[in-house]
Amino acid sequence: MAEGAGFEPARELTPPTRFPGVRTRPDYAIPPGRHSVGAVNGLDFIDQMGAALEEARLAVGHGDVPVGAVLLDATGAVVASDHNRREELADPTAHAEMLVISRRARELGDWRLTGHTLVVTLEPCPMCAGAAMWARLDRIVYGAADPKAGGVWSLYNIPQDRRLNHRCDVIADVRAEECGTLLSDFFVRKR
């Protein structure tokens, strides 16, 4: 059909937000660097990250990327701990974060984990950040940033996205150097 006879020339499409181009995190998101790693309910998360690091080291034994996670209840007690098991279980969803969230939810018989804190050695991916948000966790504490797949701050900011119905506080860089070294050493040996 010719122009003017029911044909409309293509219109330039604009993104559905007020931002030019693609946005992966909203402009109101609070960068984790602005959070104090000071005490939250008397916890500085240093020791809890140590427990997550111990878990991460176990993943290497079965060829998994060394990522470990612990889940804390409202009192700060570790109520679940695990490490990546994707290779071991041949399950793409067997990330440390998913395993601890699932274990605790089954134990409580409730998917709502309000009052809980996820402590993980590597910034959670979008799947794990989404699971933490859907589980209604209070906060996510992570060690090393993940510039290639981070769903908490590096690429996306799922836990603080106002378009979703729940948000989590975020604390980053707890023992980040130690967490990052564990990962880089693993990949150096793997190559």
| Mean pLDDT score across all residues of the chain | 86
Confidence of residue 112 (pLDDT cuts 50, 70, 90): very high
Task: Give per-residue pLDDT as tens, 47-78.
Answer: 999 999 999 999 999 999 999 999 999 999 99
67 and 121 in contact (C-beta within 8 Å)? yes
pLDDT confidence bin for 126, thresholds 50/70/90: very high
Active site residue 97: yes
Q: Can you tell me whether residue 91 is helix, strand or coil?
A: coil
Catalytic residue among 8, 12, 55, 97: 97
Left if phi > 0, otherwise alpha if psi is -120 to 50, otherwise beta: which for 173? left
| pLDDT tens digits along 77-106 | 999 999 999 999 999 999 999 999 999 999
